[in-house]
Amino acid sequence: MGKLKLSGKELRAIGYPESPVISVAIDSMEKNYKRNSKEHALGILKAVLARPNKYAEDEILGRIAKALIEREEKASAKAAAQVNLKPEGVPYNIFGAEFIEEGALGQMNSATRLPIAVAGALMPDAHHGYGLPIGGVLATENAIIPYGVGVDIGCRMCLSIFDINPNELEFRKDYFTRELNENTLFGSGREFKNKTDHEVLYRKEFNEIPILRGLKGRAESQVGTSGGGNHFVEFGIVHIPERDDVLGVEAGQYLGLLSHSGSRGVGANVANHYTKLAKNKRHLPPDAANLAWFTLDEEEGIEYFMAMNLAGDYASACHHVIHEKIAKQLGREPMKMVENHHNFAWKEMYEGREVIVHRKGATPAGKGVLGVIPGSMTAPGFIVKGKGENASISSASHGAGRQMSRTSAMNNITAKMLKEELEKQGVKLIGGGLDEAPFAYKNIQKVMNAQKQLVDTVGTFTPKIVKMDDTPPRGRKKGSEGMGE
């Protein structure tokens, strides 16, 4: 009798699953039962398959039995983690529906069908993203969705208003250009040679949460820098038409410094790490897979909430370092600073109960809450005061919103078109690219008109000297650092 030879086809024929168990079984049988007939060996394998627990401690067959048991346990865990969407989603309001693409609507429809969904809203600048659409707002019951916050956690706006005649931007253009160049850095992995110390770097979360321990060095080297994509730091003209008691700035024209960026490599790594854990924990249908969540009672949910808040505070620190450096060079303290996150999740009250409000590319607009909604490198931005509108879950747009993808913009916008538009609007651009040209964005005036119910405009910001990342565009990469998603 020759040596025993088994095939995967023969094992599948007696019921063995298509998996690494087949290789384990063949190896064990051919080594230990090599003088047995094929019929006898297959009979033994049938017995092990039928009752693997009986053979788990067997010196030879235990290896096969344990592989079968492990596979069954994994299958059971996956089945237990499978989550179905509700047949009907919770109702949600759409602002500026005529501007919103089908992809964003589809994503919002999936999000509102989650078992944890309480309420939703879609802002007029909304467009397709990962998980929750950019411009999507979702309130959930005791649950947090990492991709409901986004990759660039704490991406935010910060505006410093200086009591300086804005005409100086024209008279001393080279001076203001130099200050932007010397005090800002843009792009993935960029860092200053001379690091800036900041209290956020001493937060306990950097030592208590494993993912953050490995990111502390990166955080130290990147504090005070900005990401790529749509991130910017710019000088411009602030116009206050009349005094608003909340803003507290007299009517007039002022010099403004406006920045837009997020939490750099810290936020991107936190987002991707916890999204992977959430997706392993809860298996959703393919079209909703990126909406996997943690409850705030789970260890991972508690950890993510802490890490998210740290990333948000780190993003704020990056802005403050930039503004403090430039204010020092200007020799003036700002009269007023207006700032807000637009990629974050907050614990808030909604219709009498506490919920987690995810604003992915949406500005908090609670009653009397100030924020900044930018346009594009040539279009005005708006200083706004929230109305606390329940229909939008106290939210507004975070900008004009893209009407062209980066690839489409690169294919349809020429350098000549961009140059002419910059000259027409009297804007000096440092860095930037065709993927960020004004034509790639929706009309900010139309977007603002679509949300008059949500915010009052108390001032405007007109960009004049704009600095952005000068890295040649290479296309959008999922989870890339500091892209504003």
Distances (CA, A) of 406 to 141, 241, 423, 436: 35, 35, 23, 8
- What does pTM read for this prediction? 0.83
- Asked whether the predicted pLDDT for residue 72 surpasses 90, the reply is no
Q: Considering the chain, what is the average pLDDT of its residues?
A: 93
352 lies in the same domain as 424: yes
228 lies in the same domain as 333: yes
pLDDT digits (tens, 9 = 90+) for 390-414: 999 999 999 999 988 889 999 999 9
- Asked whether the predicted pLDDT for residue 130 surpasses 90, the reply is no
Mean pLDDT of 264-279: 95
Residue 44 CA, chain-centre distance (Å), reads 53
- 473-485 burial, b for 16+ CB within 10 Å, e for fewer? beeeeeebbbbbb
184 lies in the same domain as 320: yes
Separation between Cα atoms, residue 55 and residue 69, nearest integer Å: 10
CA-based nearest residue to 404, from 481, 476, 479, 480 = 476
Residue 303 CA, chain-centre distance (Å), reads 17
> Which residue has tokens 């007696």?
14
67 lies in the same domain as 205: no
- Provide the pLDDT confidence category of residue 187 given band limits of 50, 70 and 90: confident
Q: Is residue 481 in a domain?
A: no
pLDDT of the residue at 475: 43
Q: Is residue 58 in a domain?
A: yes
Q: Is residue 246 in a domain?
A: yes
pLDDT of the residue at 192: 81
Cα dihedral 181, 182, 188, 189, rounded to 10, equals: 160
**Structural domain total, the chain:** 2
257 lies in the same domain as 404: yes
Q: For residue 64, what are the domain limits?
A: 8-81
- Asked whether the predicted pLDDT for residue 74 surpasses 90, the reply is no
172 lies in the same domain as 28: no
pLDDT of the residue at 473: 54
Q: Is residue 126 in a domain?
A: no
54 lies in the same domain as 187: no
- Asked whether the predicted pLDDT for residue 80 surpasses 80, the reply is no
pLDDT of the residue at 99: 85
- Provide the pLDDT confidence category of residue 472 given band limits of 50, 70 and 90: low
Q: Is residue 194 in a domain?
A: yes
139 lies in the same domain as 71: no
pLDDT of the residue at 75: 75
Q: Is residue 106 in a domain?
A: no
